[in-house]
Amino acid sequence: MHSGDTIIHLIHLADGPGTSGHSVSVRVLGRSQPGILTGHDFLDCEIVIEARAVTAHFSVTLLPEDLEEWEDALATLESGPVATWLTSGRTPSVELESAGTGTLSVSVHDGPSSGVTVTVPLSVPLSTLLAEQRGLLARAREAYPREVVETSPGAYEWRRAGTT
């Protein structure tokens, strides 16, 4: 973890009270290359899976567009039974599948490194899950706003205050 930074959850999917206690989280540990123009907005994170039989940690570096894609994945999950995230092949991928009965299956596949896939069933109402995840995404964006803009292909500058 980077000194002075606190852990922010970008994602926290967990069983409801009185169930198995399984969870899948993406913790933002800090900026990957703070102060370096081309890497400042990258986030060092870890995917953490906790279940009775296994605990797994996968290190990932997220790009600003990965956060946008997480927002898209939540919208996809809201309208259909399956959503995927982080499918570029450079990081572990995540698949969420809703059974529509308050059950969500979350699979993390670490194709780039270990080849391991961990699937965890969670008992959580989808409407509650979606609202909570959107709130966590907003907090992560507030804590780590985009501060770099690409002005032309391969040319970057610091974002001026008040611009989007």
pLDDT tens across 21-40, in order?
A: 899 999 999 999 999 999 99
Q: Looking at residue 164, what is its pLDDT?
A: 57
Report pLDDT for 3: 42
pLDDT at 115: 93
Q: For residue 143, what pLDDT is reported?
A: 96
Low-confidence ranges of the chain (pLDDT < 70): 1-5, 17-18, 161-164
Angle at 25 between CA 35 and CA 144, to 5 degrees: 25
- Domains, in order of start, for the chain: 8-158 (2.30.31)
Q: Which residues contact 26 (CB under 8 A, 6 or more apart)?
A: 9, 10, 11, 12, 45, 46, 47, 48, 60
CA 76 to chain centre: 15
Closest C-alpha among 26, 25, 23, 32 to residue 5: 32
Query: Shortest CA distance to 96 belongs to which of 17, 11, 19, 27?
Result: 11
State the Rg of the chain over Cα: 16
For tokens 């899948």, name the residue. 24
What pLDDT score does 30 carry? 95
Nearest residue to 86 via CA among 63, 55, 120, 115: 63
